[in-house]
Chain A
Amino acid sequence: MSDLTFLLIEFGIKAFVIVNIVLVMASVEVYLERKVSAWIQNRVGPNRVGPMGLLQPIADVVKLFMKEDVVPKAANKGFHRLAPLLTLAVALGVYAVIPYAHYVEIGERTVYWGIAPNVNIGVLFILAMTSIGVYGITLAGWASNSKYSLLGGLRSAAQMISYELSMGLSLLGVILITQTLNLNEIIIFQRDGWYGLRWLIFLQPLGFLIFLVSSFAETNRTPFDLPEAEPELVGGYNTEYSGMKFGMFFLAEYANMATASAFLALLYFGGWSLPFPEFWDSLGLVEGTWGRVLLQFGSFMTKLMIFILFFIWVRWTVPRFRYDQLMNLGWKVLLPLSIINLFVTAAVIIFFNL
């Protein structure tokens, strides 16, 4: 087999598997969201469709497909159609650089898990893609030709710009420490030291906190879900959407949540790295074998699920911020804090020659 055909097959399979993982993850999230919200509110939650209501997300999707697709008469038809596609495509596109585990050796070839986990602009790529996501939402708000949608879209844009800054600045701390934008190398940095537990959360606690808050704002989740604030804006940017177009926004929201969780796990909690690597080596599960890779995958997925549960848990606990509070927090608190964090990190690195 020539290198090219091998690569084509490899990437085809990887892309297929990863897109499916993301979609399954989204449906698991929807189920968890409904269950956890029910438990928090002393209800039982979906328990009719399938055992324990496990097939509820499928029923939801079938419902969305069956619905009539209403487009407002005054809407800008082209952009109205484009917006959900853009949002979903961007949300899925981010997964191109996320590593799910390290690598396996098949014959003489090394196959990395993740479509392109070794690109040297990984962090930058994710930041860029998540900021493109806001175009979809703003476009949806504008193309709907409805005041509620427009307000939702504009809020989304303002919110993204405000929080993107502190998000990027808090990430600079991580990049200063690891000296790389490559996601796999960031994980390897966290793996090599302190028995595989040199997680960046211990080195960058303030940066983690800022990043966590910003990613809540970035994914439009409560307490920062002003773009779709139901009591004020009907449904925000997706007011005028129905059927599967709405479903796409819905899917993109949950895919973004999974992205944010994955990003948090990668940058601050060691991603796929396993604690105590010597122990696993002694079991014969050395780097490059299938067993090791599956363990790494499990490690990453566990961290991901914990963060997703945290996102859901916070959503059903904290009330929505008022708009001025949101802006105050973004510009007057998180931005200065992230700059301080950056300077302290840089100073420590220079003075201690790390």
Chain B
Amino acid sequence: MNNRKNTEAERLTFWERMYIPEIARGLGITLKQMFKPKDFVRQYPEQRFEPTGSFRGRPVLVEEDGQERCVACGLCARVCPALAIEVQAGETAKDKERYPEKFEINMLRCIFCSYCEEVCPEEAIVMSKDYEIVYTSPQAAILEKDELLVPKAKLQDRLEFLRQYK
């Protein structure tokens, strides 16, 4: 048994030991809760959460004029703490001379830290607002380049955010 003596403040008063008034008080509290409006609840599939530019969702590659901005420098793969990114560079006749032949992000490893975005010299990989990240197999979770490319127009919020705060 517990031998510690209760202090005066901890001891229940007579009416508290009678249960009934205290239970009635509790019932009053829950009754009040019952009739509070529940309008802060978002009905998810119908009402979606629209994140601001500061939101770090699925990392994507910026697509500008029909091609990626990425020059396959490999910094993102280098900095990635979860080793989620794999880049293989290739040569091209265009101005930039280099492009990623293969660009993979393993979404099972990604921790959404946004280091890749921070380190990117070309602003080519950014975090999108995409937060519904679901795959049916481990293979499907490894995203190829064509799955990662997103037109620049769709990423405007994030790019502006980066220009302001990066």
Interface on A for B, CB 8 Å cutoff?
Answer: 36, 39-44, 47, 209, 313-314, 316-318, 329
Contacts and interface: CB of A to CB of B under 8 A. Distances in A.
B136 interface: no
Chain B interface size range: 10 to 19
B30 A40 contact: yes
A318 B38 contact: no
Interface string B26-45: 11011101111010010100
A316 B26 CA distance: 10
A317 B23 contact: yes
Contacts of B30: 40, 313, 316-317
Contacts of A313: 27, 30-31
A90 B20 CA distance: 32
Contact of A44 (B27, B33, B34, B38): B38
Interface of B: 19-20, 23, 26-27, 29-31, 33-36, 38, 41, 43
| Most chain A beta-carbon contacts within 10 A, residue among B19, B26, B30 | B30
Contacts of A40: 30, 33-34
Nearest to A321: B19
A39 B38 contact: yes
A39 B36 CA distance: 8
Given A39-B33, A318-B23, A329-B19, 12 more contacts: A39-B34, A44-B38, A44-B41, A209-B20, A313-B27, A313-B30, A314-B27, A316-B30, A317-B23, A317-B29, A317-B30, A318-B26
A42 B27 contact: no
A209 B26 CA distance: 17
A317 B27 contact: yes
B117 to A, nearest CB: 36
Contacts of B36: 42
A42 B38 contact: yes
Contact of B38 (A43, A314, A317): A43
24 contacts: A36-B34, A39-B34, A39-B38, A40-B30, A40-B33, A40-B34, A41-B33, A42-B33, A42-B36, A42-B38, A43-B41, A44-B41, A47-B43, A209-B20, A313-B27, A313-B30, A313-B31, A316-B30, A317-B23, A317-B26, A317-B27, A317-B29, A317-B30, A329-B19
Nearest to A41: B33
Contacts of B34: 36, 39-40
Contacts of B27: 313-314, 317
A145 B23 CA distance: 37
A162 to B, nearest CB: 16
A330 B36 CA distance: 36
A314 to B, nearest CB: 7
Contacts of B23: 314, 317-318
Contacts of A314: 23, 27
A43 B42 CA distance: 10
Nearest to A333: B19
- The list of the 6 closest CB pairs from A to B, nearest first, reads A39-B34, A317-B30, A40-B30, A317-B26, A44-B41, A40-B33
A331 to B, nearest CB: 15
A316 B31 CA distance: 10
A207 to B, nearest CB: 15
B25 to A, nearest CB: 10
Nearest to B29: A317
Nearest to B40: A42
Contacts of A317: 23, 26-27, 29-30
A329 B30 CA distance: 24
A317 B27 CA distance: 6
A280 to B, nearest CB: 32
Nearest to A38: B38
Nearest to B35: A39
B6 to A, nearest CB: 16
B16 to A, nearest CB: 13
Nearest to A319: B26
Nearest to A223: B23
A42 B36 CA distance: 7
Contacts of B35: 39
A42 B39 CA distance: 10
B19 to A, nearest CB: 8
Contacts of B43: 47
Contacts of B29: 317
A39 B20 CA distance: 23
A350 to B, nearest CB: 30
B65 to A, nearest CB: 45
